[in-house]
Amino acid sequence: MNNDFIKRATRLQEVNEELVFEKTAKAQFPGSSCAFRVVANTLPNIANSVALLLGPEICLYNAKLGSSLFSLTDMPLPNNLLFLLFSSEDITFGVSQKIRDAVIDVCTRYKPEVLFVVTTCLQEIIGEDFDVLIEETENAVSVPLIGIHTENFTCESALPGFENTYMSLIKLMKKQEIEKGAVNIWGMRTHPSAKNELVSLLESKGVVIKSIFPAFCTPADLQKAPSAEMNLVFERTSLPLAKEMQSRFGCDYVYFEKPYTPDAIEKMYQIISEALNINIDVEIQKMKSKSVQKLNGMKKTFEGKTCVVSGSPFGRSFNYAELLLQLGLEIKGMVHSEVIESDLEDIEILKSCNVDFPIIHAGNSVQTELFLKELRPDYFMGMGDMEFLASNGIEPKNTMFVHWLIGFSILIEVLDSLCEAPAGFKTIAYKEQYIKNWGVAN
């Protein structure tokens, strides 16, 4: 890689709402993961449901792999995924009848409260009319059928697949009488969300929480969701659903991507307290004081160190960058996909701090590695090939697994995560250094 690559990168000071990051290569991938795989990790959070995933072997394998990995953690997902494999013969002669038979069999055998039927790119490419198929088949079963498209071939992001998943839930909802003070929470991605800081705080003030998604809600919870007075929306992928619920059922909503800095988290809570007419000032100040104390105590660890930041589709990436600056880190670059409206205020804050750094599109892992090799930061704030990072003296700091948290707890967890290298990295780094030393000695 030469310096021309860095020169062509977008600078932070150039970023505005019209910006589209220049592609680093023609070969792209759909975000950090194909929507089909991520949706497969989302639907198990709806209890008493079954999801039938349709696709070729590689897609089904990846979806199964993702759910299997969760089973090795302290947050295992329910095993409610079924897989319908498309063969080359199906692609040639059509799969409509095969899908119809499978749907009827699943409904008869498992009797779920709702059956989600999820497509891959393949079905749209070969021209199957998926929506008509679902509509016709639903007449033959007694179970509500919900079709979800995850056709990544139409875009360069996995986010539309998430939006389709959220929007599909509207089919389960029925108009209800609004319950004053009740809320739904959208955009909490795993089951510990049901017991997290925000939920505990709201419940302590008498707020009734109707449903949390995706966080082990039930079809019955989703049916009653329109009875909530307010939707709290923490991911832009759930924003279209909130707008549709406002239009159809009269539910108001408040939207903000998850913040990371103490001041931004405090502002988020102030907006929530005003929207719900509750007083949580004492609790906010107590939690903020504790997190600021921890942040200040870690500055000596990171002062003078450098990093490259990997932007996330969940949360405020530029606010996360501001947190790293507050820790004393110098940001040498960023790998990111797109700027959204909620980023603009954070970008202006960074610009006012007189910092500037190159930003490249996150669409190609090879180009990302070249970017890192050129900048040679101490840390890469994101996921990457650990052997590559170790051989180049770059330590990964992966904080993506804190996305189910909200409020000051996410800040505390991020700070704790930054203090640790990923499991196995020290061993890999030792091996890479040993190989280098052995080469020099010989």
Cα dist from 204 to 209, 283, 288, 323, 423, whole Å: 11, 11, 18, 29, 37
Domain extent listing, the chain: 3-27+298-432, 35-155, 176-276
Query: What is the per-residue burial (b if ≥16 Cβ within 10 Å, else e) of 139-166?
Result: eebebbbbbbbbbbeeebbbbbbbbbbb
Q: Which of 182, 163, 177 is nearest to 241 (CA)?
A: 163
Which homologous superfamily is 3-27+298-432 in? Nitrogenase molybdenum iron protein domain (3.40.50.1980)
Fold of 176-276: Rossmann fold (3.40.50)
Tens of each residue's pLDDT in the chain, 442 residues: 455 666 778 888 888 776 666 665 555 444 445 778 778 888 888 889 999 999 888 888 888 887 776 666 666 677 889 999 998 888 778 888 999 999 999 999 999 999 999 988 877 777 778 889 999 999 999 999 999 988 766 666 677 888 899 999 999 999 999 999 999 999 876 555 556 889 999 999 999 999 888 877 899 999 999 999 999 999 888 999 999 999 999 999 999 888 999 999 999 999 999 999 999 999 999 999 999 999 999 999 999 999 999 987 678 999 999 999 999 999 999 998 888 888 999 999 999 999 999 998 876 778 889 999 999 999 999 888 888 888 888 998 887 667 678 899 999 989 998 988 776 676 776 666 656 666 555 5
Classify domain 35-155 by CATH number: 3.40.50.1980
* Pairwise CA distance, residues 314 & 28, whole Å: 20
Q: Is 35-155 in the same CATH topology as 3-27+298-432? A: yes
